[in-house]
Structure 1
């Protein structure tokens, strides 16, 4: 185990600034996920840590070893960094058995034969693949190949584990099972891990902390619950989970409260630590689980506002209905146990549930 320190990391590809002054400290034994859409810089950052790409600027330190420093000209090759890297494609040797694939890194390191066998058997048992030692990759399922690739990395006991979207080639059900297995293995190993994914469920369920990246920069760093419940900006709110955005204008403020007029004139009360001045344009963000359908004449308990919305679409998704709504020209997404009877309904928006962002937000651009 080792800590990882990244300082002002920069990487260009021609005119494209793929990684823009990224800094990050990962403690020993911490599981940190780099999360973001394609092209955000997460895989480029991982490649720089592994030594597969040479950055243009910054500094990378793994434990007590400086792996890259643009000021001193230091650049250690991948084999000198003691990083374990699991690729998205697994990259298993097709002509080698499971045992031979896993033992290969130890053979390169000239580990004695008896020790090689002991460590391979140990790590295959760890990933529950000891019964498949004599099989070839084409005789394994995708999930089994993924476990072999992980075993091959763990067998030489790396200081830090780098996982580049290791579950992306699996089907949905197998991916769910692999995620649960990986979460259990992560708890048992306690190995410093950097995990790259664009899958928010993986990030939320596996991570100690999530690093959300956007256009080469770090948008937010924090524990999963914090990133989900208190996103730093509209991009994070939109990328993590499902978020409904309602643009409006502040018409009244008092203490830690703001009254916001939506596009159709309906008003919504929200609590916020720093209410903008009256007249300011704002965007309210609500998670679907925060919104309730209010029956006719009902005034739900708790501080909030009741507004009218139009039902634009319905979709049955197995035990639940997904509703597409229109509220003053803004689209909303909501799930309910039963579909509404008509095309109009009343919604309760909690005063404490909204996240208020200043300015108008065009989420189609994020």
Structure 2
């Protein structure tokens, strides 16, 4: 195993900068996820590490081996890099059995027969596919084929593992099972891993750290709970989980950790604990997760239970099994509430906590 160091990585396609001065250190044995929407640069970063795309600038090093250094004109081709790469397409040889597919990279490397046999048995047991060694890919489910693709990568003991949307071709239930299995395998292997996905659940469930990318740059790096609870900006807050954004004006300012009074567009007011300094008269956007909000008790008005009760209008309601997802309009801002209580009528009194919301500078545009 080895650590991965990326410094100032830049990749352009014509006039488009797909990866813009990205720097990242992945420790030995760490599982790091590159997360973001399509076109954010995550797969391009992975391809540059694998050597499939030659970067325009920066440096990539794994352990003591330099893979790429633009300043020195150094570029190591993919076959000379000890990277294990698994794509979203399984890319198995249809005319080969499972065992032969897994053996293929060892055959290319001229690994002796007895050692080759030992490694194949070992890695198929690791991915729980030893019973299927004699089967062909068309005789396997999508999840089983993905396990074979992973086994074929692990069998030659790569220094780092690169996974590019490996579960995206699976249906929802199979994807959940595959994610749980991959999490268990990750714990056993402790192999330095870069995982690319646009699926926030996968990122939160599997990662030691998450790298959120936007427009070719890193928006935030942190542990899953840190990213979820303390997003650096509205983009991260909106991309990780579901977030409600409330544009407001600061009536009473507060330092970091102090209490600020905000006024919404319809004149309703609430007091919040400011995680960031809030300046009187400034425009801000207040962000809440759906699970932080609740329907207020019957007859509750004004500040109560360490929060504020505000009038909202119900715009939609849907029962999704155990929960109601309720669309609300609060001072012109669309909100989503999740509750076990069936909503009644056309209006709803909503409780928002004083602490837990996040203040971002700027109005509605900050959350766009």
Contact 1:97 1:133 (8 Å CA) reproduced: yes
Cα distance between partner residues in 1 of 2:346 and 2:230 = 32
Structure 1 runs of 4+ aligned residues shifted over 4 Å read none
**Partners in 2 of 1:285 and 1:265 — Cα distance?**
18
1:262 maps to which of 261, 264, 276:
264
Q: Tell me, what secondary structure is at the counterpart of 1:362?
A: helix
Q: Which residue of 2 aligns with 1:243?
A: 243
Aligned to 1:167: 167
Gaps of 5+ in 1: none
**Helix, strand or coil for the counterpart of 1:19?**
strand
Q: Deviations over 1:87-133 (max 9, x none)?
A: 11011111111000000000011110000000000000000000111
Match of 1:218 in 2: 218
CA offset digits 1:24-68 (Å, max 9, x no partner):
000000000000000000000000000000000000000100100
Please give the TM-score of this superposition, normalised by the length of structure 2. Answer: 0.97
- In the alignment, the residues of structure 2 paired with residue 114 and residue 301 of structure 1 have an alpha-carbon distance, to the nearest angstrom, of 72
Count how many residue pairs are aligned between Structure 1 and Structure 2.
Answer: 365
Shift of 1:287: 0.3
Residue in 2 aligned with 1:296?
298
Match of 1:101 in 2: 101
CA deviation after TM superposition for structure 1 residue 306, in Å: 1.0
Superposition deviation, residue 360 in structure 1: 1.6
- Consecutive unaligned residues of structure 2, counting only runs of 5 or more, are none
Residue 138 of structure 1 corresponds to which residue in structure 2? 138
**CA pair 225-4 structure 1, distance change in 2 beyond 3 A:** same
SS at match of 1:67: strand
> Matches of 1:169 and 1:37 in 2, distance apart?
17
Q: Deviation per CA, 1:242-298, whole angstroms, max 9, x where unpaired?
A: 000000100112451111101111112111144322110000000000001102223
TM-score (norm 1): 0.98
8 Å Cα contact 2:293-2:352 kept in structure 1 = yes
Alpha-carbon distance in 2 for matches of 1:235, 1:263:
22
What residue in structure 1 maps to residue 357 of structure 2?
354
Alignment map for 1:13-162 (pairs within 5 Å):
13-162=13-162
Q: SS where residue 321 of structure 2 aligns?
A: coil
Asked if the contact 2:276/2:359 (under 8 Å) is kept, the reply is no
Secondary structure, aligned partner of 2:248 = strand
Residue 363 of structure 1: how far off its partner (Å): 6.5
Q: Alignment partner of 2:153: what SS?
A: helix
Contact 1:257/1:275 (CA < 8 Å) preserved in 2? no
The answer to whether the 8 Å contact 2:300/2:309 transfers is no
